[in-house]
Amino acid sequence: MCGTSTSTPNLNGIATLVKQRHPDWSPAAIKSAIMTTSMITVHDRKPIMNEQLHPANSFMMEANQVNPYKAFDPGLVFHVDHKEYIALLCGMEYKDKDVSLIVGENIQCSKIHSISQSKLNYPTIVLSMKQCVKVNRTVNNVGKAMSTCKLEIDMPDEGMVKVVPNVLKFNKLNEKQS
């Protein structure tokens, strides 16, 4: 844990403020806004230091230093609906009774197309495989109607990523693209 990390109560407060500003956003969209607008530097633009006093990076710090102001207007958000979470729980081999208890409805995982963690429409992708893996992400434009977004990748040198397309052009607000 880094000395400058934001504690859970602060994140809960920030999430509450984002929800107040955007009451139609799902919990996943709020989490996405917080994660994708976080920084790896503190207010004086110096790097956040990890517990060994080395500059931290995205792989060490989950969502880094939260920037509440930017979270109000992230430009893009990743939505995950409750059906995707159920598919994920089934993919993680939870028992039907446990998934049913968690979601408050009768679930039969055998009747659901389960997904792995890498398939969840989440702002980050973490894979530890030595084979080619295809993952898809869908973003929702919550920024300006006419906007262009270019992908930035933060990954170790040992890996290789190909992104298609690497630029998304939006024509309207709330437009979704993958």
pLDDT recorded at residue 105: 94
Non-local (6+) Cβ contacts of 89 within 8 A are 98, 99, 102, 103, 109
The sign of the CA dihedral 80, 111, 134, 131 is: positive
Which one, of 93, 155, 94, 148, lies nearest residue 124 by Cα?
A: 155
Q: What is the pLDDT of residues 94-119, one digit of tens each?
A: 999 999 999 999 999 999 999 988 88
Tell me whether the omega of the peptide bond preceding residue 165 falls within 30 degrees of 0, making it cis.
yes
pLDDT recorded at residue 86: 96
Radius of gyration of the chain from its Cα atoms, rounded to whole angstroms: 18
**45 band by pLDDT with thresholds 50, 70 and 90:** confident
Non-local (6+) Cβ contacts of 172 within 8 A are 141, 145
Query: Any idea where the domains of the chain sit in the sequence?
Result: 8-75, 82-119
How many beta carbons lie within 10 A of that of residue 4, not counting itself? 15
Q: What is the pLDDT of residues 46-93, one digit of tens each?
A: 777 767 777 766 655 554 678 888 999 999 999 998 899 999 999 999
102, two tokens: 């968690």
Whether the pTM exceeds 0.75: the reply is yes
Rounded Cα distance between 151 and 146, Å, is 17
Say which amino acid occupies 130: K
**9 band by pLDDT with thresholds 50, 70 and 90:** low
What is the overall mean pLDDT for the chain?
Answer: 84
